[in-house]
Structure 1
Amino acid sequence: MNESQDRRLEQTILELLGRRAPTASICPSDAAREVYEGEDDGWRALMEPARQAALRLVAAGKVDITQAGRAIQPAEARGPIRIRRSR
């Protein structure tokens, strides 16, 4: 993963959230699919980088990550997460 792609994932997360209702959330896979430039399921290789991009955005105070509808700290994240605008 390169720095350019990391930044693109971060920007894509923010853009996707900007297109949705203020209370809506997205899955890291939404950003991975948007950034991946291919027709196959190669976007899956971007899943962990997308999660890491979300964690960087949490640290910057721009987004929250959630599980079961509640905001959690990155250290608590186990399994699937959602990303929403910070509240």
Structure 2
Amino acid sequence: MAVDMEAVILEVVSALPPGKSASSEEVARAADPENWRRLTGHVRGAAKGLARQGRIVILRHGKPADPETFKGVYRLRLPDAG
């Protein structure tokens, strides 16, 4: 099954209230509720690309993280307006 992970990420974070974030697990489950575990690496890769473009923000410990160097658990949200 081919998944457009960038589209799934944008769909999930766009549905959140302003300032709220989603976990990689939430995104993976939205893409494939049955086999989401195998998609977590794809979520990370697509999130890095979207963050480089400025379309989303990757958060570590509630603060924006560099998409090139972040490690560990992270969350995703839309950039702040303005």
Q: Please, what TM-score do these two structures have when normalized by structure 2?
A: 0.86
Give percent identity, aligned residues only.
28
Could you give the per-residue CA deviations for residues 35-64 of structure 1, whole angstroms, max 9, x where no partner exists?
Answer: 1153xxx21110010111111110111001
Amino acid at match of 1:27: S
- Structure 1: tracts of 5 or more residues without a match: none
- Residue 16 (structure 2) pairs with residue 23 (structure 1): no
RMSD: 1.6
- Structure 1 counterpart of 2:56, from 63, 75, 86: 63
Determine if the alignment matches structure 1 residue 84 to structure 2 residue 80. no
1:33 maps to: 29
The residue type paired with residue 26 of structure 2 is D
Tell me, what secondary structure is at the counterpart of 1:66?
Answer: strand
The runs of 4+ residues in structure 1 deviating greater than 4 Å are none
Where is the helix percentage greater, Structure 1 or Structure 2? 1
What 5-or-longer segments of structure 2 have no aligned partner? Answer: none
Counterparts of 1:37 and 1:25 in 2: how far apart (Å)? 19
Q: The residue matched to 1:65 in structure 2 has which SS?
A: strand
CA distance in 2, matches of 1:35, 1:15: 10
Q: What amino acid sits opposite 1:71 in the alignment? A: P
Structure-1 separation of matches of 2:53 and 2:68: 15
